[in-house]
Structure 1
Amino acid sequence: MQRGILLSVSLLAGAYLLTGCKMTQAEPQPARLTNMSPTIKAELQQAIIELIGGEPLKLADNAFVNSHQLFIEQAILRDPQGRPIMGRHNQPAILLELQQADNQCLLSHPASGRTVQLSNSSCQQAAAEQ
């Protein structure tokens, strides 16, 4: 009887461990886009708005293609003659990172901890950057 209970407990514990392993998700890894298109650029712009707000940004055709990071500097307000209105600003650049987890591309804003899944984008794990 005691052997039967021990066997049952062992089987339940094993099943629990296997279930727990399947439920854990892969840790996001730095990634780069495999291609850029107008659809992907529009998706990135929408994801950036979701993460940090504001107006759609002008993105370069190689954004997230050569690096998994994108730094966004805030615009300096200028008067009609093109001079800065308030002089220099000391606002830090905003960092966004492209990541891949479970074969999904994710755009992450590390400062807030927020992430947006990109459904139209194709990415691959980035090689270690020097």
Structure 2
Amino acid sequence: MSLPNKKGKLLKGRLLAAPLAILLLSASGCATTQEAELHEAVTKSISVSQKQAIESKISNWFGGLNITIAEDAFSQTASITIERKAKVDSRGLPIDGRHDNPVYGFTLLSDGEQCVLRNDQSGELTKLENVTCYIVDEA
């Protein structure tokens, strides 16, 4: 197919080349951005520094609030939940007998090499440096 340009010259192969180039670039882009598949993971045990690293990552999602997780977090299951402390009276009982604080969930994931923590509410992922974890099926 040939069309004349503004100067009267024919544009022979350019109309076919542009869509072909776009197709090739988009196909190669998809091939290079594939991510490793993540699986639920657990830890054998976590050191104090690893526990602090996990608490720090979760704290960042809450705007810097102090977060405390159990010493054996992620050792039995890939998920943990965190809830805010209920407001209590002088006897330590919840005010109004109950609370409606939301529960937040976090899941430990791995691609077999890197441990990743997922915020289950937002789906956001963050890498955990110096934390060793094992895919649940392999643990």
TM-score (norm 1): 0.73
Q: Distance in 2 between matches of 1:56 and 1:88?
A: 23
Among 46, 49, 53, the residue aligned to 2:59? 49
Letter in 2 for 1:79: D
What residue number does 2:45 align with?
Answer: 35
SS in 2 for 1:59: coil
SS in 2 for 1:48: helix
What residue number does 2:14 align with?
Answer: none
Q: Distance in 2 between matches of 1:45 and 1:21?
A: 35
CA RMSD of aligned residues (A): 2.7
Deviation at 1:92, TM superposition (A): 3.4
What residue number does 1:104 align with?
Answer: 114
Number of aligned residue pairs: give it: 116
Query: Which stretches in structure 2 are left out of the alignment for 5+ residues?
Result: 1-22
SS in 2 for 1:96: strand
**Percent of matched pairs sharing the same residue:** 26
- Counterparts of residues 55-74 of structure 1 (less than 5 Å): 55-74=65-84
Larger RCO, structures 1/2 (Cα 8 Å, 6+ apart): 1
Deviations 1:47-75 (A, max 9, x none): 11122345333322210011100011221
Q: Does the CA-based 8 Å contact 2:112-2:135 persist in structure 1?
A: no
Structure ID, larger Rg: 2
**For residues 41 and 18 of structure 1, do their structure 2 counterparts lie closer, same or farther at Cα, with a shift above 3 Å needed?**
same
Letter in 2 for 1:59: I
Following superposition, which runs of at least 4 residues in structure 1 exceed 6 angstroms of deviation?
A: 16-19
